[in-house]
Amino acid sequence: MLIPKEKPYLSGLNSYYLHIDKCVEHLQGEIGSGGLYCKSADEELFVFFDEQEIVRALTQKKGQLAQVSPNLDPVLRSLDQKSYQVTVYYLDANSIFFWGQMPPFKRAQKVLSAKDISLPDLVFRLRQKKFTGFIDVTLKEYEEGAILFYRKGERAGGSYGWGKGGLSPSNDDYNRLLGLLQTNYAEYRIGHFKNIKHEAAPLQEIRPVENKSSGGNEIFSGLDTAISGFLGLFVFVAWKKLKGEPLVHLEQRFHDAIHEYPVLDPFKNYYEISDTGSFHFLDNAPREEIASAIVDITWQAVNALKLQKKFRAEIKTWTYKSVFEDMGLI
């Protein structure tokens, strides 16, 4: 798949903690239009949306052609099988349908080096051939690259690492790229758009997961997962305000509250929280007491950030809501 070069609106999320359909609805209200990109070891998913609807959903297994759907069904089927890293891109009204309706493409096998040919010379040769496709520019010593799009030899716009929106027609952005190429080693990967349609994703019924009642030991057997999900909700809602480090912020609050909630003392070895927010109880942990402390402190953080409305909206449709309700935590 081809991914925008602009800095993501959100990154580092895990699909395990998200209801992707609800997440898209939330993003439609917050940023209007954009793309939600999901990646696992062997598959990529990309959902393009505007304020009103799903523009297109793509699924692509490693080594296979991408499949397209007008709805989320094939994406939800894939998400039901395993976890994906999730990244959100803002794509403005001028670019969302360009990205969302992008035709299939084939990348050239050969990677070109700036030592062998300059970008202006490459563009000149492609213009002579009425090239329709893209040039993916990677700057080896600079994080911000670019994708230049061409239609019949003319530049239609570009996606730039320092840009915003997904498809800038600006000559200033193009000239900035040329300036960076003067002092940075670069590689070019060319992709040709094909004059064919994407393969449609197969229709298949999605079977809803049966909700099991939680009680007694069943509550505690699923409590690790429920707490992981609860932390994931906070990460999602607070990501923008805390500049990509909501989990670090929350763990600092846990540490600061040890005098009030001794069960959170890390030296007691009652639990572990991974860098991705995955939570696990260790042996002999007072589970209910720890869960109560985590919920209290998380809500304190939510209130301090003035995110109560957004957080309550996420909890309303949260899969493991019943686990916390049965324990009287929410």
CB atoms within 10 A of CB 194: 13
Report pLDDT for 219: 38
Give 10-60 pLDDT, tens digit per residue: 888 888 878 888 889 889 988 999 999 999 999 999 999 998 899 999 999
Rounded to the nearest angstrom, the gap between the alpha carbon of residue 201 and the centroid of all alpha carbons in its chain is 21
The single-letter code of the amino acid at 142 is: Y
* First-residue to last-residue Cα distance in the chain: 41
CB atoms within 10 A of CB 244: 14
Give percent of the chain above pLDDT 70: 90
Q: What is the mean pLDDT of residues 184-200?
A: 80
Give 60-75 pLDDT, tens digit per residue: 998 888 888 888 999 9
Q: Which residue has the higher pLDDT, 201 or 78?
A: 78
Q: Where residue 217 falls among pLDDT bands split at 50, 70, 90?
A: very low
Give 259-309 pLDDT, tens digit per residue: 999 999 988 889 988 766 678 888 788 999 999 999 999 999 999 999 998
User: Which two tokens mark 91?
Assistant: 């794509």
Q: Is a pLDDT exceeding 60 seen at residue 207?
A: no
Return the HEC string of 39-75.
ECCCEEEEEEECCCCEEEEEEEECCCCCEEECCCHHH
